[in-house]
Amino acid sequence: MRSTTRRTELARAAERYERSRRNNAEAELVPGEDITTSNRFLASLPGESLQRLRPHFHPLDLPLRMVLFEMGDPAEHVFFMARGMTSLLIRLEDGALLEVGVVGREGAVGLAALMGARSAPHTGMIQIPGKGARIEAGILRDEMLRSAGVLDPVLRWTQALNAQVSQTAACNAHHTLQERLARWLLMAHDRAEDDALPLTQDFLSMMLGVRRAGVTVAANVLQQAGAISYRRGRIAVLDRSGLEEVSCECYAMVTRQIRALLADDGIAEPGSNAIVGINRPPR
Amino acid sequence: MRSTTRRTELARAAERYERSRRNNAEAELVPGEDITTSNRFLASLPGESLQRLRPHFHPLDLPLRMVLFEMGDPAEHVFFMARGMTSLLIRLEDGALLEVGVVGREGAVGLAALMGARSAPHTGMIQIPGKGARIEAGILRDEMLRSAGVLDPVLRWTQALNAQVSQTAACNAHHTLQERLARWLLMAHDRAEDDALPLTQDFLSMMLGVRRAGVTVAANVLQQAGAISYRRGRIAVLDRSGLEEVSCECYAMVTRQIRALLADDGIAEPGSNAIVGINRPPR
DNA sequence: TCCGGTCGGTACAGTTCCGCACGAAAGCCG
DNA sequence: CGGCTTTCGTGCGGAACTGTACCGACCGGA
More confident residue, A2 or B85: B85
User: Could you give the angle at the alpha carbon of B228 between the alpha carbons of B192 and B183, nearest 5°?
Assistant: 60
B118 and A CB contact within 8 Å: yes
Q: What is the average per-residue pLDDT within A196-200? A: 93
Q: Is the CB of A213 under 7 A from strand C?
A: yes
pTM (2 d.p.):
0.88
Judged by CB atoms closer than 8 Å, whether chains meet at B3 and A166 is answered as no
Judged by CB atoms closer than 8 Å, whether chains meet at A166 and B260 is answered as no
User: Could you give the angle at the alpha carbon of B81 between the alpha carbons of B79 and B82, nearest 5°?
Assistant: 145
The pLDDT tens digits for A206-265 are 999 999 999 999 999 999 999 999 989 999 999 999 999 999 999 999 999 999 998 754
Judged by CB atoms closer than 8 Å, whether chains meet at A172 and B172 is answered as yes
CA distance B116 to chain A (A): 6
A13 and B CB contact within 8 Å: no
Nearest to A88 by CA among A161, A185, A196: A161
Sequential pLDDT tens for chain B (283 residues): 443 333 344 444 444 444 444 434 444 445 557 899 999 999 999 999 999 999 999 999 999 999 999 999 999 999 999 999 999 999 999 889 999 999 999 999 999 999 999 999 999 999 999 999 999 999 999 999 999 999 999 999 999 999 999 999 999 999 999 999 999 999 999 999 899 999 999 999 999 999 999 999 999 999 999 999 999 999 999 999 999 999 999 999 999 999 999 875 433 333 322 223 455 443 3
- Which residue in the set A165, A168, A174 is minimally distant from B92, CB to CB? A174
The pLDDT tens digits for B103-152 are 999 999 999 999 999 999 999 999 999 999 999 999 999 999 999 999 99
Average pLDDT along chain A: 85
